[in-house]
Amino acid sequence: MSERIYVRPIGFAPGPQCEHGNAVRLAGGMVYASRFAVILRRDGAVVERWLAAPDTIAQVLAELPDSVGAEAEAQWANLRVAHPPLELGARTVRLDQPQVVGILNVTPDSFSDGGQFGELAAARDHAAAMVEAGAALIDIGGESTRPGAKPVWEGDEIARVIPAIEACAAMGAAVSVDTRRSAVMEAALDAGAAMVNDVSGLLHDERSASVVATRGCPVVLMHAPGAGGEDLHAGADYDNVVFEVFDRLRALRDRAVEAGIAREKILLDPGIGFGQTLAGNTALINALPLFHALGQPLMLGASRKRMIGALSNEAPADRRLGGSIALAVAGMNAGVQLVRVHDVFETVQARNVWRGLRDAALTDFSDLPD
């Protein structure tokens, strides 16, 4: 018999004063949670579900089966962890508010902007514009991960990303490299990248975990159903997509720690759009607050994804700005720390307005008695 437990935030407040202090700051950010569901699965099926608030959850956790009690306590603690900033070379990226990550694809075949930034001058100018618009980090990738894309030889991938990384590092930008190959990681880190973003969660290349552990850099572990093979989108057969992606991310986190990667260097990404149905993608977006129970900062990459077209009359990739902003704000409302996007200026503007509303809510005591 297999039992799993999940502590999921389900109710939120503009600020703790709205709940007379009975709310917790989710993952050290600007979102406050006041209501939680404690969910027990047995052999894959949900068998119990309890509701709790911060002042009653200790009683609920104390009555759980011994097999899941320690895990539930750990998840409850994880939901309240305040994450330290990312130290990315000379740049520090705070994680107590949402940060915008700008996408720079130096590929000929990416689903949204393939071929636009293959030339170094175009890549450099685009990166500079994203930094000026407020991107905290530039994520540079040399291999398309769209469905049906052909794998790229690591030598070609290195030749694509290194000039762009060097150019971005020279302008003082914080840089991450989007790759699943250890040789590319090493070359990128030598060229000035400070973080690795691996869509395979370090499963594709058996050397990757060792490289990241030795270099001591932050790493984003993304869930993809086909992460161990060439097709990242293969094998997306879930009975309960939210809980199974949660479990797989927990396994990726634990495997990385066992490989010697420091826990505080690990970020997680649920992998929106990778092999998922529309129903799976929407379920993951709606369940994002749950993933804070894993105790790591979260990245959301939903910009221009296929689900936006599916929900907006089949709009093509270059006409999905509104949907991309909507998903980015959904991530902010869920406490996600990093939002990875193509349209930096518009997303930063949305983030700044979002933050202004949050700041106002936190200082509003007008409906409380004197």
263, amino acid identity? R
Kind plus residue range of the DSSP H or E element containing 78? helix 66-79
Residue 328 contacts residue 347 (beta carbons within 8 Å): yes
Q: Which of 148, 324, 158, 5 is nearest to 332 (CA)?
A: 324
Sign of torsion, CA 206 219 350 276? positive
Classify 166 as helix, strand or coil. helix
Strand spans (E) along 225-348? 266-269, 299-300, 338-341
Q: State how far the Cα of 250 lies from the Cα of 88, in Å rounded to an integer.
A: 24
User: At residue 26, what is the residue type?
Assistant: L
Q: How far apart are CA 69 and CA 60, in angstroms?
A: 10
CB-based contact 139:178 (threshold 8 Å): yes
Who contacts 95 (Cβ-Cβ below 8 Å, separation ≥6)?
A: 28, 29, 83, 84, 85, 86, 297, 337, 338
Catalytic residue ranges: 305, 340
Coil, helix or strand at residue 42? strand
Alpha carbon distance 279, 283 (integer Å): 6
Nearest alpha-carbon partner for 74 in 19, 20, 4: 4
d(CA 110, CA 116): 10
**Residue 176: in which H helix or E strand, if any?**
strand 175-178
Q: What is the CA radius of gyration of the chain?
A: 20
